[in-house]
Structure 1
Amino acid sequence: MDTDAAIRSVDESFERIAVGARRSIRRAAGELAADLPPSAWPVLREVLRAGRVQAGTIIGSLGMDKSAVSRHLKELREHGLVDAERDEHDGRSIWIRPTPLAIERSATILAGQQDRLRDLLEAWEPGDLERFADLLHRFAELVPPAAD
């Protein structure tokens, strides 16, 4: 396969993966709360990864509009999935933290996602799976942050 054909194949594969990722995000948001929009799931994931984060960091990480992030944080608070607290040193700054409920529910959701991936990849040789994980990680490191 020449380079152009390989690039086309990668692009087509990413399109299929994107469809599956959107389906996974919809499922995850629905498992958190039936009325939660799918775009709230990545916001919660950023909060969970950080443990304590400010909205501006989420905006930069996801490349989402400030008003969308604010709306999703409000929805997540209303569902008891995040707490907001003022910075003890700078009352203008607000920190967002996941609640124990968010940690518990997301652990279940993420375990289900990993089980589905495990099922898809169970026939792969361990060496192939490790190489795929390494190459995918290397590629992901090349992707610029959402804010760029």
Structure 2
Amino acid sequence: MAATPLDLTIATPLDMVVNHEAAGSLRAEDESGSFGIRPGHADFITMLAPSVVRWVAPDGTRRYCAVDGGVMTVSGGRTVAVACREAIVGDSLERLEREVARVRAAQLDAERRVRVETVRLHAQAVRQMLRYLRHPVMPDGDEEIPAAQERGR
């Protein structure tokens, strides 16, 4: 009699990436290294390293999911749940690697644009403060005459 397959779920805050998929076995990686999970495994919880979770479906099909770290729990000897910030599923390691590289490049570009915009806003705020310090504006909207100019009147 074949063992009941694992029930695998991988979720991010915005999406259920893998939803109750049957897995005959699973490999993942935490700080201590790579490990395997098979039906009947003891209950446990671990922090996953950024890595690729791999599993084999009962029909022998291999599946992959790149995760950006996360928490994995095994319960009841058959339920495996992964909660992570980001996850990308793939049917081949080569395509998954290209997709992860594409997503990472897009993230780096977005981070660069945010840094540029932050510097631009900071410079604009400094210019505005300097403009105010040079020529203060009174509450009624009139410019205050600098003391040096007033003495010269």
* Same-fold call, TM cutoff 0.5: no
Greater strand share, 1 or 2? Answer: 2
Q: Relative contact order (alpha carbons < 8 A, sep ≥ 6): 1 or 2 greater?
A: 1
Q: Which structure has the larger Rg over C-alpha atoms? A: 2
TM-score, normalization by structure 1: 0.29
Question: Greater share of helix residues, 1 or 2?
Answer: 1
TM-score computed with the length of structure 2 as normaliser: 0.28
